[in-house]
Copies of this chain bind each other. A is one copy, B any other.
Amino acid sequence: MRKKRTTIYDIAEKLNLTASCVSRALNNSNYVSEKTRALVLKTAAELNYKRNILATNLRNGHSKTIGIVVPRINQNFFSNIIAGIEEATYEKDYNLVICQSNEEHEKEVKCINTLINQQVDCIVISISADGHDYQHLKNVIDHGIQLIQFDRVVDELETLKVINDNELASLEAVSHMIEQGYSRIALLEGPQHLSIFKQRKAGYLAALKKYNLPVINELIVKNAWTKELGAKATRKLLSLSNPPDAVFASTSDFSALGVLEVATDIGFKVPEQLGICGYSNEAFTEITSPSITTIDQYSFFMGKTIANLYFEEMNIKEIAIQPKTISIKPNLIIRSSTSKKSTETK
């Protein structure tokens, strides 16, 4: 079935040389005559030679490959991260092996093991939501593989990290809402064992404190991070005797969309009677009516940052790599769903 591929031995034989010489010619070594090099290059092209990277990597002990583990490949944020990493690694002739954990801890462990088997040089991961034990990540480090965590990171593990400043972004978002005149702001919070959601909550609380607003427990809804859960939470919130006048959907834009749909359905005017702020700047937030205020995480840029961080650290061979965290400040995008003031003055 499969045809035999040409190797350096084939080239060597044809030219009455040895494989070593061919290898040197192919690798721009100085220890070959220009004549031989030209001959080798010509013959290689003629025979349609393609270097077997498997052999090269086995010999060299690395794979020029970066493994990526994300909860879901087809989520905007993650596919942008991947695209960003790809752009940066492509230039350096690195390959990407991509796995998805489907938010399942067990699959995440399997992915990690596959990547270790593959001899990847670096593993980039955003952990799944249901994980609690991090032995598999320690294992990566034990195998001498560079580990870079991003977005959803395990704080306790001292690795390279690239994150968003979730607390600051949330503080800004909620401050903005308060300045727009909202005072009973509900929070849709995510699983608190993930630090990103903890930070977003902290930002929310900090904003309330900053403006001397009380924390109202019945306005804080746990684990509302899908459109459906966001909708469900909103139905409950809006039927309170003293309902909120705004919702900060810190979990995602999807939950914010759920809020918007239910609010519109029940007859709450957005932004006049209810302000809404999402998280992630999904494409659709610009299109809804009203458009949704949200927080852009610069995901593509974040991907490039991750890749570049790896290449930088790679060059520091002498000293053991120091844990290091790069924090990217997300950008609050103010749209109609929180623009109460501008509608008042109309």
A contact set with B: CB distance below 8 Å: 1-3, 5, 48, 50-55, 57-58, 61, 63, 65, 72-74, 76, 79-80, 82-83, 86, 90, 93, 95-100, 107, 113-114, 116-119, 139, 142-144, 257, 283-284, 287-289, 300, 317, 320
**Does A86 lie within 8 Å of B98, measured CB to CB?**
yes
Give A209 Cβ to nearest chain B Cβ, in Å: 35
Once bound together, how far apart are the Cα atoms of A204 and B54, in whole Å?
49
A83-B100, A96-B99 given; 16 more Cβ-contact pairs under 8 Å = A2-B144, A5-B143, A50-B143, A51-B117, A54-B58, A54-B63, A73-B79, A73-B86, A74-B79, A74-B82, A82-B98, A96-B97, A283-B283, A283-B284, A284-B284, A289-B289
Q: How distant is A259 from chain B, measured CB to nearest CB, in Å?
A: 13
Residues B86 and A320 in contact, CB atoms below 8 Å apart: no
* Copies of this chain in the oligomer: 2
Contact of A144 with B5 at beta-carbon distance under 8 Å, contacts A98-B96, A99-B86, A118-B95 already known: yes
Q: Which residue from B58, B80, B107 sits with its C-beta under 8 Å from A52?
A: B58
Q: Are B3 and A143 in contact, with the CB atoms below 8 A?
A: yes
Q: How far is the CB of A314 from chain B (nearest CB, A)?
A: 10
CA distance A180 to B297 in the complex (A): 43
Give Cα A143 to B7, complex, Å: 12
Task: Output the nearest chain B residue to A288 by Cβ-Cβ distance.
Answer: B287
Asked if A144 contacts B320 (CB within 8 A), the reply is no
Are B144 and A1 within 8 A (Cβ)? yes
Q: Which residues of B contact A82 (CB under 8 A)?
A: 73-74, 98
CA of A65 to CA of B120, assembled, Å: 14
| 28 residue pairs bridging A and B, Cβ less than 8 Å apart | A1-B144, A1-B317, A3-B142, A3-B144, A48-B139, A50-B116, A52-B58, A52-B117, A52-B119, A53-B118, A54-B57, A55-B58, A65-B97, A73-B79, A73-B82, A73-B83, A73-B86, A82-B98, A90-B107, A95-B97, A95-B118, A96-B97, A97-B97, A97-B98, A283-B284, A284-B287, A287-B288, A288-B288
Whole-angstrom distance between the Cβ of A89 and the nearest chain B Cβ: 10
Chain B residues positioned under 8 Å from A51 (CB to CB)? 117
Which chain B residue has the least Cβ–Cβ distance from A257?
A: B287
- Nearest CB in chain B to that of A76: its residue: B74
Q: Bound state CA distance, A63 and B52, in angstroms?
A: 11
